[in-house]
A and B are shown apart, each in its own frame.
Chain A
Amino acid sequence: MDIAAIELFRVAGSRMEYLAERHRVVAQNVVNANTPGYRARDLVPFDAVIGGMRPVAPALTSGMHLTGTRPAGPVRVDRRPETWESNPDGNAVSLEQEMIKAADTREAYGLIAGLFQKHVGLLRMAWSGRNT
């Protein structure tokens, strides 16, 4: 059985992928917290990812066509999110805000991993026919 055929596992998988990617974007903001002219980035919210439209890509009708450079996954980077502060040197990264984002991401990751585990447990209980 393909576990991704169950909707919950599919959504949990893409949510985990989204959160890991968000953590990467936050790390990028944190290391550039002292880079002049750098603006903080974020990902487009997850509800827009599962509910909204998928990015449209032109169809490849010939083997000689190049694939686009757009990310294929469920994530899109928002280059101008709202930031708390900006410095005179053009840097707009607030370390406090980034720390909050990172903590949020980690909590959400723990939650979704827990949910995943619970559902695996449910399936296992159904298969074994015993209340373990």
Chain B
Amino acid sequence: MTVDPLTATMRIAATGLEAQGTRLRVIAENIANADSTAIVPGGDPYRRKTISFTNALDRSLGAETVEIRRIGRDRGDFELVHDPSHPAADEDGYVKRPNVSTLIEMMDMREATRSFEASMNMIEQARSMMARTVDLLRG
């Protein structure tokens, strides 16, 4: 069964909201763990999480919605800081810091917010178009 295009618009936009919402959650995890080092000497600290999207055909809507392809880990190098008194310091006194850059996370967050708002905008416009159609009955 096919859905009318305006209802389909709302459902498609809802998948966008969900995807960007999950992205914001991943960003929040990264920012919250920007200082999470290991608890054992020489251990690895928090590794930054990444998220990627893919387009998936939704047969009931006849449209391509967005889905989360993978939440992975950033394989970038950790920064070494000399701090011998830290509990996670190795024998040379170096501590591995998480590979989270708050600046990059902020940029990512802005982009996610912008995409979220764009999807929201599509829902609002579809609603107003539906309301306009119903208004036809008033004559």
Residue numbers in A under 8 Å from B132 (CB-CB): 109-110, 113
Which interface residue of A17, A27, A109, A113 has the most chain B CB atoms within 10 A? Answer: A27
Nearest A residue to B16, CB-CB: A31
Contact present for B136 and A113 (CB under 8 Å): yes
Contact present for B122 and A30 (CB under 8 Å): yes
Residue numbers in A under 8 Å from B4 (CB-CB): 20
Residue numbers in B under 8 Å from A21 (CB-CB): 5
Q: How far is the CB of B133 from chain A (nearest CB, A)?
A: 7
Contact present for B125 and A31 (CB under 8 Å): no
Contact present for A24 and B125 (CB under 8 Å): no
Contact present for A30 and B13 (CB under 8 Å): yes
Give the contacts of B42-63 with A (CB-CB under 8 A): 52-55, 63
Count of chain B residues near A, Cβ 8 A = 36
Contact present for B6 and A36 (CB under 8 Å): no
Q: Is B40 an interface residue (CB 8 A)?
A: no
Q: Is B129 an interface residue (CB 8 A)?
A: yes
Residue numbers in A under 8 Å from B63 (CB-CB): 24-25, 27-28
Beyond A23-B9, A24-B9, A113-B136, whether A30 also contacts B125 by CB under 8 A is no
Stretch at the interface among B79-87, B93-101, B113-121: B113-121
Residue numbers in A under 8 Å from B102 (CB-CB): none
Contact present for A102 and B121 (CB under 8 Å): yes
Residue numbers in B under 8 Å from A34 (CB-CB): 19-20, 23, 53, 66, 111, 115
